[in-house]
Amino acid sequence: MAAGLAACGKAKEAGDNGGGKKEGKAALTIGLLLPENQTARYERFDKPLIEKKIKELAGSDTTVLYENAKQDASVQQQQVDTMITKKVDALIVDAVDAKSIASSVKKANDKGIPVVAYDRLAEGPIKAYTSVDNERVGKIQGESLLKELGDDAAKGEIVMMNGSVTDPNAKMYKDGAHSVLDGKVKIGKEYDTKEWKPENANENMKGAISSLGKDKIVGVYSANDGMAGGIITALKSAGFDKLPPVTGQDAELSAVQRILSDEQFMSVYKPYKPEADAAAEMAVALARGKALDGVAKSTVDSGTAKKIPAIIVTPFALTKADIGQYVGKEGFFNLDEICTAKYKAQCDKAGLK
């Protein structure tokens, strides 16, 4: 990817690419706006990985201005205004609300600040986008759940706990999961979970148990790990003799430990480093006024823009058998973080030493 960036050819003028500096060695200021801190990945992986790559590409004198919206779309809009006031050369945004951020993206673009949409496809005149293959995430979750259910798929019903309707990724996860699950298992209850919050997933799951009866529930599709935690708490409170398989996404530390403890069946590991590297490379290129032809090999369409240069990263299933291959790698947890005293026996059993 870095080689592709170097081979982009002569830089175009800033106006040709929607903003940014002309080619040169002047120190850059890059803005980074992440959506929330309930999901551990953003502070633990995304932020430091993006910052590190930006400085590798643009030099140690590069400034990265960081803000976290803590799941508040209006706060994030104010943060964009602040970045505009500080005259950043490019802005990386993981939108809380992909639609409501559009006017803020336009403001930045009008001031010559190119915006890279990170992880979620924001609307407005964004100049680049990177994320994982989100529909594939849903397919992986659905396929894993069906495989684990086996013959039990015909003996009961599953509950689907989708993400927030304000997140375009949530629809892609849902669509991917439905493409696998529909016709193969009965979906007893399905929810779009407000703000992805675990406590909302917990309440939804309590409602599903009350409505369907715990003897009818054979599995739970959870779109991410945070919600899986809330779901599993509800299942335990309901007195399940054996927890039904519960999916997840993000490979959070607590989820990895739940998988080792046989409480959560699986998660989806999204390699954060290539996604973070892609965002950094595109932001630095745009800030320098360079085209993205040599970096982004594909394009996507949003609700408001067409043929947005994009880099899409492949996700992977993470079950107990898969954990060992990722331990200690950049963008994953090390052995000491996973195998605390509470989980030592489970780690030993899984061969994590």
Residue-level pLDDT at 15: 39
Q: What is the mean pLDDT of residues 101-121?
A: 98
What's phi and psi for 260, nearest 5 deg? -60, -30
Residue 325 in this model has a pLDDT that exceeds 90: yes
Chain centroid offset of residue 20 CA: 26
Q: Answer yes or no: are the C-beta atoms of 222 and 197 closer than 8 Å.
A: no
Domain borders along the chain are: 29-132+271-313, 134-269+317-350
Fold match flag (29-132+271-313 vs 134-269+317-350): yes
Q: Range with the lowest mean pLDDT among 8-17, 178-187, 196-205?
A: 8-17
Residue 312 in this model has a pLDDT that exceeds 50: yes
Distance CA 92, CA 177 (A): 29
Q: What percent of the chain has pLDDT over 90?
A: 89
Q: Taking the complete model, does pTM exceed 0.85, yes or no?
A: yes
User: Topology of domain 134-269+317-350, per CATH?
Assistant: Rossmann fold (3.40.50)
262-297 burial string, b = 16+ CB within 10 Å, else e? ebbbbbbbbbbbbbbbbbbbbbbbbbbbbbbebbbe
Which has more pLDDT, 261 or 2? 261
User: What pLDDT digit, counting tens, does each position of 216-261 carry?
Assistant: 999 999 999 999 999 999 999 999 989 999 999 999 999 999 999 9
CATH class of the domain whose range is 29-132+271-313: alpha beta
List Cα–Cα distances, 349 to 261, 339, 341, in angstroms. 10, 11, 14
Residue-level pLDDT at 93: 98
User: What pLDDT digit, counting tens, does each position of 252-270 carry?
Assistant: 999 999 999 999 999 999 9
Residue 184 in this model has a pLDDT that exceeds 80: yes
User: What pLDDT digit, counting tens, does each position of 11-41 carry?
Assistant: 333 334 445 554 555 899 999 999 998 888 9
Long-range (24+ apart) CB contacts under 8 A made by 232-237 are 232/258, 232/263, 232/264, 233/202, 234/202, 234/205, 234/206, 234/209, 235/205, 235/209, 237/206
Which has more pLDDT, 12 or 178? 178
Residue 273 in this model has a pLDDT that exceeds 50: yes
Long-range (24+ apart) CB contacts under 8 A made by 200-204 are 200/227, 200/230, 201/161, 201/226, 201/227, 201/228, 201/230, 201/231, 202/230, 202/231, 202/233, 202/234, 204/161
Residue-level pLDDT at 241: 87
Looking at every residue in the chain, the average pLDDT score rounds to: 93
Residue 91 in this model has a pLDDT that exceeds 50: yes
CA atoms within 13 A on the CB side of 296: 27
